[in-house]
């Protein structure tokens, strides 16, 4: 058994509907760590006020020279059933990490790495069949990416809930994409680099993470902090707070890039992360956070046609476009996959 593995377990194609429900981005549980938040890092919570950082002059030392993004472009192409009838989604995707580098007045692609993956939960299958399947995939330039089963009642286990199983393959591919982002980041560890997303476990002293989605509650039961958050005007930031993790501690704050009357109150707000080592290297100077925020403010995306423009950095949008140009359209990839696997 090799690529026949899928057929052997009742593999069938999954038609892609025009209106696919958007998968939420759950915590990437393989990656995330417990984070203790110290809100009194820059100011006591009672003393929080919005800080205006917008300035015409940019400190060149705070302007990132490299811009890192990852891409995960794929679909659930098929599904199988294990011996107990659990649905096993098969996610076919291309994932990649890219770095754009400032070259004079333009941006150039400095590094890119793309992989084709077939991601599924392998635990319910005999290992020798999975070994052969993995080897056969390698022969057609695809990697088997084993996903872990979902956590149900604090235990990793299979479930008959298709959505939970599919979510796991999506999450696993996201985790792997983050590894490729880190790969792109690691190519020049001494250069100030902007990363799309949280820093996570990156041990990179010169990285700046920009987080567009606000999934976690960092401000807790502190009305004053929330009031400051919602009162931010474009060009203002919150005081910084500290996230203690098991790996490298993080200094973080919110910055409002854009916002207009009628927009949602948290619209246009990003969260910025730098490592504590980065902050200390700057003499633990909170003015540095102002200057850095000002640099990011000038890098904000101004393309009104781009849906996430209010929370995006222009060079990151360019990095995303550059990486996408290297990827195969999912429908084309799926057709090739169906052909090779006989589905």
Partner 1 sequence: MSQADDRVVIGGAIQRLFDAAGLPWPPPARRTVTPVPLDTLIQAYNLTHDEVPALSRAAAGAYLARWGVHRPELLEDAAPLAGFLFANAHGGYILVNAGDPLPRRRFTAAHELGHYLLHFLPRLQAARDVETSLVLHDNGDTVREEDKEMSLPEMERQANQFAAELLMPETVCRTATHLYAARFRTPARFLEHHLAGDLLVSRDAMRWRLRNLNLTN
Beta carbon nearer to partner 1, 2 or 25: 2
Cα 281 to Cα 67, 230, 232: the distances in Å are 21, 31, 28
**Which 68-127 residues touch partner 1, going by CB under 8 A?**
111, 113, 122-123, 125-127
CB atoms within 10 A of CB 238: 28
Beta carbon nearer to partner 1, 54 or 340: 340
Yes or no: say if 330 and 117 are a contact pair by the CB < 8 Å rule: no
Q: Which stretch binds partner 1 (CB under 8 A): 70-78, 184-192, 295-303, 320-328?
A: 184-192
Beta carbon nearer to partner 1, 24 or 154: 154
Asked if 13 is part of the footprint of partner 1 (rule: CB under 8 A), the reply reads no
**Which 130-169 residues touch partner 1, going by CB under 8 A?**
130-132, 134-135, 138-139, 143-146, 148, 156
Beta carbon nearer to partner 1, 113 or 224: 113
Question: C-beta of 324: minimal distance to partner 1 in Å?
Answer: 21
**Which 198-217 residues touch partner 1, going by CB under 8 A?**
201
Instruction: Calculate ∠ Cα 89-212-38, nearest 5°.
Output: 110
Question: C-beta of 107: minimal distance to partner 1 in Å?
Answer: 20
Give one word for 235, left, alpha or beta, with left for phi > 0 and alpha for psi -120 to 50.
left
Please give the structure tokens belonging to residue 60. 């060149």
What DSSP element (H or E) covers 274? strand 269-275
Question: C-beta of 179: minimal distance to partner 1 in Å?
Answer: 5
Beta bridge partners of 51: 237
3-class state of residue 11 by DSSP:
coil
Please give the structure tokens belonging to residue 305. 């046609």
> What is the size of the binding site for partner 1 (CB under 8 A)?
30
Instruction: Calculate ∠ Cα 266-272-278, nearest 5°.
Output: 165
Q: Which residues bind partner 1 (CB under 8 A)?
A: 111, 113, 122-123, 125-128, 130-132, 134-135, 138-139, 143-146, 148, 156, 176, 179-180, 182-183, 186-187, 189, 201
């Amino acid at each position: 058994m090799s690529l026949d593995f899928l057929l052997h377990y009742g593999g069938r194609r999954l038609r892609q509907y025009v209106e696919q429900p958007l998968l939420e981005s759950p915590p990437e549980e393989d990656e995330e760590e417990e984070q203790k938040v110290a809100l009194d890092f820059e100011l006591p919570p009672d003393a929080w006020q919005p800080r205006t950082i917008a300035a015409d002059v940019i400190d060149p030392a705070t302007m990132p020279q490299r811009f890192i993004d990852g891409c995960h472009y794929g679909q659930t192409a098929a599904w199988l059933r294990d011996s107990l009838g659990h649905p096993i989604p098969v996610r076919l995707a291309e994932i990649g990490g890219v770095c754009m580098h400032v070259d004079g007045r333009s941006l150039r692609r400095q590094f890119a790495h793309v992989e084709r993956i077939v991601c599924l939960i392998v635990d319910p299958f005999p290992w020798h069949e999975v070994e052969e399947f993995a080897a056969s995939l390698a022969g057609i330039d695809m990697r088997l990416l084993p996903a872990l089963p979902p956590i149900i009642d604090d235990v990793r286990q299979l479930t008959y809930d298709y959505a939970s199983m599919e979510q796991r393959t999506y999450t696993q591919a996201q985790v792997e994409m983050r590894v490729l982002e880190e790969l792109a980041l690691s190519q020049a560890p001494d250069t100030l680099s902007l990363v799309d997303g949280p820093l996570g476990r990156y041990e990179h002293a010169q990285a700046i993470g920009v987080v567009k989605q606000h999934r976690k509650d960092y401000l807790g039961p502190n009305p004053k902090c929330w009031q400051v958050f919602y009162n931010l005007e474009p060009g203002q930031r919150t005081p910084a707070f500290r996230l203690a993790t098991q790996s490298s501690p993080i200094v973080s704050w919110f910055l409002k890039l854009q916002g207009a009357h009628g927009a949602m109150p948290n619209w246009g707000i990003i969260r910025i992360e730098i490592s504590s080592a980065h902050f200390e290297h700057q003499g633990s100077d909170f003015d540095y956070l102002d200057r850095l925020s000002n640099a990011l403010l000038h890098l904000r995306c101004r393309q009104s046609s781009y849906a996430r423009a209010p929370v995006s950095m222009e060079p990151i949008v360019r990095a995303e476009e550059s990486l996408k140009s290297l990827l195969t359209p999912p429908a084309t990839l799926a057709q090739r996959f169906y052909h090779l696997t006989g589905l």
